[in-house]
Amino acid sequence: MVQAVSVLVSTFSLSAIAINRYLLVNCPYNHSISTKQATIVAIILWKFSLLISLPYAYYMGLEEYEGYCGQFCSEQWPNNQIRRGYALIVLAIQFLLPFIIMLFCYFSIFSKLKRRNNSKLKKLNERQNILNNEKENCLITTKIKNNSKENIGELNILLINKQQRRTTTILASAVLFFGLAWLPQNVLTMIIEYDIQLLYFKNNNYLYLFSLISHSIAMTTNVANPILYAWLNPTFKELFIKTVNPLTLRKRNDELINQRRNYVNNNLKISLNKTATTIQNI
């Protein structure tokens, strides 16, 4: 029962995180969830998980196995129909429902952010076109100023595209990893309920082996989620690096600033040389 509760709480928490992010992106004027509200949500998730897991505790009993010493906890359902019905309910609540919620929320977030980024890119492209369509007989200082704006605009476009790729990676990975990690465990559960003979090979029962493998794969979500939700977040990454090594963060920031400064300066030099050459030819 403890295992069932922990699994349900884990998947429900992922759904709650997806819903919270959906509200933050699509309803930005609402206040973010407070500590008190988060505590209430966590308590509700635990109570709901405990309620769903009660049949496990009710139909759990001690059983002795031939060749083994001691008694073991085992599910003792009245009939197969009740057991299979409950297994289908758990499958829908623990796997299908969270997967659908995450898919809907993250797809909506992706669509919203994509429209927002496209709007920014459209404005930047319009500014670039205005600068590119200026007459060639402008003053040198004006050309240098415009070229500086062009370089900054190009840099902003690159940063927006990079941010959009990062967002796409995080959202797609979160949904796909959850589905792929929990799929073997749920498929194995259905095989056990409807045709356990598929797990027998040459009169040997490999149920324990397959259960161990599928459960280990499912538990990898607990390792992957911190990476997906935190490490790919630039803010968290910088705070983590700053905590571990402040000098590393300062050096990294200086390198980024120097790269951007060199990028702009190099393009300004090229533009200045072209302008000077044009004047000499005239």
What is the per-residue pLDDT for 257?
Answer: 63
2-232 maps to CATH 1.20.1070.10: yes
How far from each other are the two terminal CA atoms of the chain, in whole angstroms? 86
pLDDT at 133 over 50: yes
Query: What's the predicted TM-score (pTM) here?
Result: 0.66
- The residue ranking higher by pLDDT, 120 or 246, is 120
pLDDT at 79 over 60: yes
Paired tokens of 143: 């050309």
Model confidence at 10, in pLDDT bands (50, 70, 90)?
confident
Mean pLDDT across the chain: 74
What is the per-residue pLDDT for 135?
Answer: 47
DSSP string covering 154-220, please? Answer: HHHHHHHHHHHHHHHHHHHHHHHHHHHHHHHHHHHHHHHHH-GGGGEETTEE-HHHHHHHHHHHHHT
What is the per-residue pLDDT for 246?
Answer: 58
What is the per-residue pLDDT for 261?
Answer: 65
Q: Where are the domains of the chain?
A: 2-232
What is the per-residue pLDDT for 24?
Answer: 80
Question: What percent of the chain is helix, strand and coil (3-state, nearest 5)?
Answer: 80, 5, 15
pLDDT at 38 over 60: yes
What is the distance between the alpha carbons of residues 18 and 12, in angstroms, rounded to a whole number? 10
